[in-house]
């Protein structure tokens, strides 16, 4: 079958090549992949994986082989999936990491949800947000745009931080109460920071944190380290915390929640770039250059199932 495989010599370290058919375990189904979505981190670090590896985690398509243990959706089901080896004409994926796509939701929109959407959803669950001030850095990206919408749905006062005024377009319509460039203009402490930027801005965001608040570092788009002044992490009063977050265990139920929100018109998939997977170098470059606001989706050329 054809697949996007790692090739350090190719643009973005990815090229269309050949890969063996997947061999599912008992608790895995086989998906005929129709669409895949790219995440910036996957593209940025593709070259660090062994050459020939089938890359990617986000896919949507039609089940062509049900799991041997009887779990999960049956043949013919439309599903979104999260798992390694997704960027191929077929993938084997755990039945705990899939969700059926509701009628009326396009598979191309569904494929944009798994990694970025589940990351945003699970991170926001780290503490209560109803009535609290939530700062989302890198809000124009895939995770950021989902986080803005979900935080607003959860009743938070949402502050969306972006790198430029141009990157902030559309975020107020998604639910942001404030859209700021960097951290300029934030005039009151915040209760939760979802940080996807890192670097000096992470250290500055820490200074904005209210007593009892928390920073969740879930990305590092900056090329610089975060440097904290002596004693700047020390705080007298209700504990302030900083942690990282990357839980992708059994994402199926959370993916189903995101798809239900999408079907109800409460969550936009935020697909900003779409094209055939032959154009992966173009899509990868646009992601790395931050010319995409939200998600990039590639349409997979159909292949004959085994």
Q: Look at residue 14 in the predicted model and tell me its pLDDT.
A: 93
- CATH 3.40.50.720 residue ranges for the chain: 127-244
* CATH number of the domain located at residue range(s) 127-244 in this protein: 3.40.50.720
pLDDT per position as a tens digit, 148-200: 999 999 999 999 999 999 999 999 999 999 999 999 999 999 999 999 999 99
- Residue 92: pLDDT over 80: yes
- Residue 81: pLDDT over 70: yes
Inter-residue long-range contacts of 11-18, CB under 8 Å, 24+ positions, other chains counted: 11/281, 11/284, 11/285, 12/43, 12/46, 12/280, 12/281, 12/284, 12/285, 12/288, 13/46, 13/47, 14/43, 14/46, 14/55, 14/280, 14/281, 14/284, 15/280, 16/277, 16/278, 16/280, 17/52
Q: What is the pTM of this model?
A: 0.95
- CATH 3.90.180.10 residue ranges for the chain: 2-114+250-299
* CATH number of the domain located at residue range(s) 2-114+250-299 in this protein: 3.90.180.10
Mean pLDDT of the chain: 95
């Amino acid at each position: 079958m054809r697949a996007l495989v790692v090739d350090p010599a190719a643009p973005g370290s990815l090229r269309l090549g050949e890969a063996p058919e997947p061999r599912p375990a008992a608790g895995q189904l086989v998906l005929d992949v129709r669409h895949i979505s790219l995440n910036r981190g996957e593209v940025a670090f593709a070259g660090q994986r062994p050459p020939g590896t089938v890359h990617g985690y986000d896919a949507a398509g039609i089940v062509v082989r049900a799991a041997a243990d009887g779990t999960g959706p049956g043949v013919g089901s439309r599903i979104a999936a999260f798992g390694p080896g997704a960027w191929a004409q077929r993938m084997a994926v755990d039945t705990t990491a899939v969700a059926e796509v509701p009628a009326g939701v396009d598979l191309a929109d569904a494929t944009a949800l798994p990694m970025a959407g589940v990351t945003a959803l699970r991170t926001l669950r780290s503490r209560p947000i109803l009535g609290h001030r939530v700062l989302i850095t890198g809000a124009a990206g895939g995770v950021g745009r989902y986080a803005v919408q979900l935080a607003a749905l959860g009743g938070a006062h949402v502050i969306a931080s972006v790198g430029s005024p141009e990157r902030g377009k559309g975020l107020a319509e998604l639910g942001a109460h404030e859209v700021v460039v960097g951290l300029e203009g934030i005039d009151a402490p915040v209760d939760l920071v979802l940080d996807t930027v890192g670097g000096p801005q992470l250290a500055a965001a820490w200074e904005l944190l209210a007593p009892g608040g928390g920073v969740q570092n879930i990305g590092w788009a900056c090329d610089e380290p975060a440097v904290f002044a002596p004693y700047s992490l020390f705080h007298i009063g209700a504990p302030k915390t900083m942690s990282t977050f990357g839980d992708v265990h059994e994402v199926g139920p959370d993916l189903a929640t995101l798809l239900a929100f999408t079907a109800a018109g409460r969550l936009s998939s935020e697909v900003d770039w779409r094209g055939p997977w032959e154009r992966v170098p173009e899509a990868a470059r646009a992601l790395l250059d931050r010319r995409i606001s939200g998600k990039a989706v590639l349409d997979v050329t159909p292949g004959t199932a085994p």
